[in-house]
C-alpha cells in the first residue's frame, strides 16, 4: 500500500466545515483524526450523520473530547504525533454569544490555548485555525483586508476570534510555531449549520412559515460555498508561513509578522444583499418566502466583502462558486436529507 501523506488533526470534525475538510483530506490520502465534543448547540443527529460518512473511510479516527480537557488534548497530541493541526472547533454564532457569553470564553479561548500549548510541546509543522469575517466589526472600508486593523469588534464571538489571532501570534513569536489564521466569510452548503440563515430560510419556506429578514433585507454578505473554503484550506496546508523579512514595526502589517504567522481571508469576493440571496433561494425551492422585515440586530454588521488578493497570491486559488450553483446544491441536499419531495 502507498504511504499516507501524513496525519492531520481536525478539531470540530463533526461540524459543518470540519466535516467537509476531513472528507477532502481523506480523499487526498491523508490520515485524519477528527475531534469533537458533540455538544447540543444544534441537532446532534446532523453531526452524527456527518461522522458516519467519515467513518466509512478506514483512515479516519474519531475522538470525542472537549478542547477544554487539557490533559486529554496533551495525551492525544503525544500519542498521534500530528503533522498538521486544523483547529475548526469553536462555539459559533454571533447572536448566541450575546445570550451565552461564557460558552465562548471556554471553547474559543481556553480551548484554543490548549491547542497552542499542545502544539508548543509536540511540534506539528503547521497550525491552521479558523478565524472569522466577524473580526472586522465596525470597519467600513471595502473590501475588507487582512492588512487593516480590526480593533472594533461588535460581538463577543468576534472578540474571541480576534483574540485567537493575537494568541497565535504570541505562540508563533515565543515558540516558532507556524500559524495560519483564516477569516471565513458566511460559509454555506450541504450539511450546513441549522442555526444559519440559509438553513432556517429553507426550512421555513418549505413549511410555509415566515422568515425573519434583518435590516429589511439590505444587509450585504459575501456568501462563500463550502467547497471553496475547503480548497483554500487544502492549498494553505503546505504553504507554511515563515517570518516576513520586510515586516516593519514602525508600520506594522497585521496580516504578517517577523514570526511565522499569517492571516488570510477566504471569501467569495462578491457580496450580495440578503434580499437578492432570498430571491435566488425562492427560485431554487420553487416557492415564495413570507418575509418578516426587521431592523438589524445587535452585533450584526451591515456588509462583508472579502479582499482575497493575499490568498490568490499565495495559492493561485480564488473562490468563485456562483451563488445560484451553491444554493441549488444546498436545496437538493436538504430535500434529500430530510426526505422532502
Which region, left, alpha or beta, applies to residue 38 given φ > 0 means left and ψ of -120 to 50 means alpha? Answer: left
- Contact between residue 150 and residue 253 where contact means Cβ atoms under 8 Å apart: no
CA-based max dimension of the chain: 61
Residue 183 is placed in which grid cell?
Answer: 477569516
Distance in angstroms between the alpha carbons of the first and the last residue of the chain: 43
* Cα–Cα distance for residue pair 85/124, rounded to 1 Å: 7
Side-chain half-sphere CA neighbours of 300 within 13 A:
19
Catalytic annotation present for 157: yes
Question: What proportions of the chain, in percent to the nearest 5, are helix, strand and coil?
Answer: 45, 20, 40
CA 213 to chain centre: 23
- Contact between residue 234 and residue 24 where contact means Cβ atoms under 8 Å apart: yes
Per annotation, catalytic residue among 157, 171, 191, 261: 157
Find residue 303's DSSP bridge partners: 220
Q: Where in the sequence numbering do the catalytic residues fall?
A: 157
Amino acid at each position: 500500500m502507498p504511504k499516507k501523506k501524513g496525519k492531520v488533526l481536525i478539531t470540530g470534525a463533526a461540524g459543518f466545515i470540519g466535516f467537509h475538510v476531513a472528507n477532502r483530506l481523506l480523499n487526498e490520502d491523508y490520515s485524519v483524526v477528527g475531534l469533537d465534543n458533540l455538544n447540543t448547540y444544534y441537532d446532534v443527529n446532523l453531526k452524527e450523520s456527518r461522522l458516519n460518512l467519515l467513518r466509512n473511510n478506514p483512515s479516519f479516527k474519531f475522538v470525542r473530547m472537549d478542547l477544554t480537557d487539557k490533559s486529554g488534548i496533551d495525551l492525544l497530541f503525544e500519542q498521534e504525533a500530528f503533522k498538521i493541526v486544523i483547529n475548526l472547533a469553536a462555539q459559533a454564532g454571533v447572536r448566541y454569544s450575546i445570550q451565552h457569553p461564557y460558552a465562548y470564553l471556554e471553547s474559543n479561548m481556553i480551548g484554543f490555548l490548549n491547542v497552542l500549548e499542545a502544539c508548543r510541546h509536540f511540534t506539528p509543522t503547521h497550525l491552521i485555525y479558523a478565524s472569522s469575517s466577524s473580526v472586522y466589526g465596525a470597519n467600513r472600508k471595502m473590501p475588507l483586508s487582512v492588512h487593516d486593523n480590526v480593533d472594533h469588534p461588535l460581538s463577543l464571538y468576534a472578540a474571541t476570534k480576534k483574540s485567537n489571532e493575537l494568541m497565535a501570534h504570541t505562540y508563533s513569536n515565543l515558540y516558532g510555531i507556524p500559524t495560519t489564521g483564516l477569516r471565513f466569510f458566511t460559509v454555506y452548503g450541504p450539511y450546513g449549520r441549522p442555526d444559519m440563515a440559509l438553513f432556517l430560510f429553507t426550512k421555513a419556506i418549505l413549511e410555509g412559515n415566515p422568515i425573519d429578514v434583518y435590516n429589511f433585507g439590505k444587509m450585504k454578505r459575501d456568501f462563500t460555498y463550502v467547497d471553496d473554503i475547503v480548497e483554500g484550506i487544502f492549498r494553505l496546508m503546505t504553504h507554511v508561513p515563515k517570518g516576513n523579512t520586510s515586516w516593519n514595526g514602525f508600520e506594522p502589517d497585521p496580516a504578517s509578522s517577523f514570526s511565522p504567522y499569517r492571516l488570510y481571508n477566504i471569501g467569495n469576493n462578491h457580496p450580495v444583499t440578503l434580499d437578492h440571496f432570498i430571491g435566488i433561494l425562492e427560485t431554487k425551492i420553487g416557492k415564495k418566502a413570507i418575509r418578516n422585515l426587521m431592523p438589524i440586530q445587535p452585533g450584526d454588521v451591515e456588509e462583508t466583502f472579502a479582499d482575497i488578493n493575499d490568498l490568490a497570491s499565495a495559492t493561485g486559488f480564488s473562490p468563485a462558486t456562483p451563488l445560484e450553483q451553491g444554493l441549488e446544491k444546498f436545496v437538493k441536499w436538504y430535500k434529500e436529507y430530510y426526505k422532502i419531495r
